[in-house]
């Protein structure tokens, strides 16, 4: 059953009515439960908390977006978080999401959700380092959730960065250590926003990502 209260705090940022977004998210939740039986899409312990633990956690990206953010790139999409809830909330011809996921079964799941919900989503069944960044839309925003440590993630993101690109990354309590580990290798500007759904979590917004030259 849809938990509208979990997503209502972000409704001001939706491109369509809250009830329509909730209906699509419930369809997504049903597909998650169905496919979870054959493919681990989210941790089994959180499957019954999908609205608060996964959907609200994903949608908290919305207040950090700008009005002219139209192209989104999600790395290591897995079960589609945070990209698919964002694509559902921003469902319109003006927003396009590219999801990168190398696992074949997860790719099939992501494409099924996108098709059944009529989302403007492209799913690339490959690793990010197998994709020519010149052949993908230049992203306004790169997202990632529970994929890799920040130093590694910066390396995966950097080929897709333009001077206008921002990354908005879900991170846990280890974010301080990850930032310290990344600084010797990467230049970037960062803004830290406390998570609405995880007392120890944050969203890291990175701009001007550049590799440092190591002598």
Please state, in angstroms and rounded to a whole number, the distance separating the CA atoms of residues 53 and 199. 12
pLDDT attached to residue 37: 76
pLDDT attached to residue 46: 64
pLDDT attached to residue 133: 79
pLDDT attached to residue 66: 96
DSSP states of the chain = ---HHHHGGGGGG-SS-HHHHHHHHHHHHHHHHHHHTTS--S-GGGGGGIIIIIIHHHHTTGGG--TT--EEEEES-TTTTTHHHHHHHT-STT-EEEEE---HHHHHHHHHHHHHHT--EEEE-S-GGGS-GGGSPPPSEEEEESSS-HHHHHHHHGGG--TT-EEEEEE-TTHHHHHHHHTTTEEEEEEEEE-SS-TT-EEEEEEEEEEPPP-
| Whole-number percent of the chain with pLDDT over 90 | 78
pLDDT class for 214, splitting at 50, 70, 90? low
Please state, in angstroms and rounded to a whole number, the distance separating the CA atoms of residues 125 and 110. 10
| Whole-number percent of the chain with pLDDT over 70 | 96
Q: Is residue 183 scored above 90 in pLDDT?
A: yes
Mean pLDDT of 190-208: 95
Q: Is residue 79 scored above 50 in pLDDT?
A: yes
Structural domains present in the chain: 4-211 (3.40.50.150)
pLDDT class for 16, splitting at 50, 70, 90? very high
Asked which of 118-122, 132-136, 144-148, 175-179 is least confident by mean pLDDT, the reply is 132-136
Please state, in angstroms and rounded to a whole number, the distance separating the CA atoms of residues 91 and 96. 9
18 vs 48 pLDDT, higher one: 18
pLDDT attached to residue 215: 46
Mean pLDDT of 36-65: 84
């Amino acid at each position: 059953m849809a938990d509208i209260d979990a997503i209502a705090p972000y409704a001001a940022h939706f491109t369509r009515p809250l009830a329509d977004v909730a209906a699509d998210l419930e369809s997504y939740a049903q597909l998650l439960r169905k496919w979870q039986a054959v493919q681990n899409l989210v941790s089994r312990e959180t499957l019954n908390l999908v609205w608060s633990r996964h959907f609200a956690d994903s949608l908290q990206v919305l207040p950090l977006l700008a009005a002219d953010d139209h192209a989104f790139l999600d790395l290591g999409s897995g079960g589609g978080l945070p990209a698919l809830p964002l694509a559902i909330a921003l469902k319109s011809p003006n927003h396009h999401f590219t999801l990168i996921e190398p696992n074949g079964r997860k790719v099939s799941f992501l494409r099924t959700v996108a098709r059944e919900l009529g989302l403007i989503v492209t799913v690339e069944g490959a690793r990010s380092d197998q994709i020519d960044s010149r052949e993908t839309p230049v992203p306004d925003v790169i997202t990632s959730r529970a994929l890799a440590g920040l130093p590694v993630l910066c390396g995966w993101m950097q080929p897709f960065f333009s001077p206008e690109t921002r990354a908005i990354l879900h991170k846990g309590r280890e974010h301080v250590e990850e930032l310290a580990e990344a600084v010797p290798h990467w230049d970037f500007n960062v803004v830290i926003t406390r998570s609405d759904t995880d007392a120890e979590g944050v969203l890291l917004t990175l701009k001007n990502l550049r590799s440092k030259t190591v002598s």
